[in-house]
Structure 1
Amino acid sequence: MELTLIRHLPTEWNEKGVLQGIRDIPILEISEANKEEIEKNKQQLKYPYSLVLTSALLRTQQTAKAYGYNHFEIEQLLNELHFGKFEGKEKQQLIETHKHNWYTNPREIVLGEKIADLETRIITFIEKYKNYESILVFGHGSWIRACLSYHRFGNIDQMNQLEIKNNQLLTIEVGEEELQIGRHHI
């Protein structure tokens, strides 16, 4: 399966550098720079996709529409990590609190949900959609970082060593190897 991932466009909270998590924050008015970036990204998209998905949160749905996708399916498995008491706070507070595990062992951290549950959601997503040829996902930073870490290393342990910017586009090929790893985790 070819999986194309686009992180949602910037929100006010992104601009402030605070964690959003499951808070349903809308995107900002789309700037000229973001419009140009959207057009560049659209040139990399391969039409048609077998499926276009967003999370249940407004910012991913608004981003899909900004790309011209008015018909998409909402997938709860794509929802952002629930940051619990850190939602609305600067990311640095979260890092300082969990500095021993944040960069090398995030699965041990429990916020509003266990970060290990994020890995389970990714594995479940891959298993659920494995028979699709190509999927376009409008998603969130933590989910995409965890997915990339899982794809590259077989687990999410390196997710917080990666950076995914708003409106960044990445395409990965998810194959049998990831499915085999996932079957051992579930």
Structure 2
Amino acid sequence: MRFTTPLSAITLMVASVKAAENPIIGLVDRITSISQDFDNALEDPNPVRIIETLPHLAYDGANLVATIVSDVTGWKNPLDNDDQLKTCATLKKFATTEEKLLTAILNDVVKVATLPLPIGGLIGLVASALKEAVDGIFGFSVKIAPVCSDAANKDKAALTDLIANIKTAI
């Protein structure tokens, strides 16, 4: 990543260790990290930093989407039953955390949209990257943990709706 807060850098280090145990963990942690940085950027009182940060987050999101696509393509078989259940729990926790972050981002976008800043397109780019990452992670989860596909599809729909609301609020 080009831009991370110290907290998100630590999150990524922990995620890489956990990812060896379960391929979903590292990916959802990266999505959460980008969402957290997105929220932090929109809360920044300095408009110049907002404008500087958003392109980096869009790039990081696009890079993450490429990683997810690569991982999905390379994965051949579902996990064993215990690991599928762990994946389901990880996804549920991710969906809950991401929903809170996306709600905060939506509130921030509504506030920032009133400022005379040319950032609507940048916000849209980051939101699009997050949508693709969310779609990819839930698509990947159905492949490796089909036992939780119904719940995953429900959570994906809720997150996709929130991202659509962010794009609409620009």
Q: TM-score, normalised by structure 2?
A: 0.31
Higher strand proportion, which one?
A: 1
Higher helix proportion, which one?
A: 2
Q: TM-score, normalised by structure 1?
A: 0.29
Q: Say which structure, 1 or 2, has more relative contact order (CA 8 Å, 6+ apart).
A: 1
